[in-house]
Amino acid sequence: MTVSGATLIEMRTIRRRDDWYPFSGRTGGTQTRTWAWDGAAGMAATPWVQQQPPQAPGVVLWLPRVPDPLNGAPPVALFQVANRIVCAIDDDSLVRVRCTHVGNAPAVTVTSGPGRPVRICRSATRKCALAEVPAAEQPVPVLHARQSVIVGLFTCRAGPGASAVRCTLASGRGFTLGSHGARRLG
């Protein structure tokens, strides 16, 4: 709540049922209403008004570039796709997305960030820094088919069969990674 003269402004964030975390990444937008003293009956509230529109259907995590004031955490996310792909998005100090696909072939890691070229690294050919999940972060949320995660500058979406992930910046530059291998976009 904020005070503006003789009125109080109440704001609430809207969570969807499939949001990943209870205190961050609310994808339903925000609503506000105003409370005012009417002089006779006391405080009266206006109806709720949508201030920030909701994210597109399928977005399960939305962490804006500015750290969330409720939990003060920087925009960082870890997730996996189809138990074969692990992704780490850091939009705080490193500003990058790194995804690793492990399967029957050597692991493939793709790293991307603004102002940097997309880097594809196959662990059989050279030493790669893999996207790993620290033990303290277990279990990691799973991105299912056609679901998206938006963290700062990055949007990652699981493919229709949930066996691949596509991570891009707003410019469309980024990559796809899955059992088919890795491919640069933009």
- Does any domain span residue 19? yes
Same-domain check for residues 46 and 103: no
Share of the chain above pLDDT 70, in %: 75
- Does any domain span residue 22? yes
Three-state DSSP state, 47: coil
The model's pTM: 0.73
- What pLDDT sits at residue 173? 92
- Does any domain span residue 64? no
Position 168 confidence tier, pLDDT thresholds 50, 70, 90:
very high
For the chain, the domain total comes to 2
What are 151's strand-pairing partners?
63, 154
Same-domain check for residues 111 and 179: yes
- Does any domain span residue 162? yes
Contact 168, 177 (CB under 8 A): no
- Does any domain span residue 68? no
Beta carbons within 8 Å of 43's beta carbon, 6+ residues apart: 8, 35, 36, 37
Long-range residue pairs from 63-67, CB within 8 A, at least 24 positions apart, any chain = 63/24, 63/25, 63/91, 63/150, 63/151, 63/152, 64/152, 65/91, 65/152, 65/153, 67/92
Contact 67, 76 (CB under 8 A): no
Same-domain check for residues 50 and 115: no
- Does any domain span residue 62? no
pLDDT of 81 higher than 80: yes
End-to-end Cα, the chain, rounded Å:
43
- What pLDDT sits at residue 139? 78
Q: CA 31, CA 129: separation in Å to the nearest integer? A: 42
Q: What are phi and psi of 177, to 5 degrees?
A: -145, 135
Q: What are phi and psi of 11, to 5 degrees?
A: -125, 140
Domain that holds residue 135: 76-185
User: How confident is the model over 34-63, as pLDDT tens digits?
Assistant: 888 767 767 888 888 888 777 777 788 777
Same-domain check for residues 15 and 106: no
Same-domain check for residues 22 and 95: no
Share of the chain above pLDDT 90, in %: 8
Position 136 confidence tier, pLDDT thresholds 50, 70, 90:
low
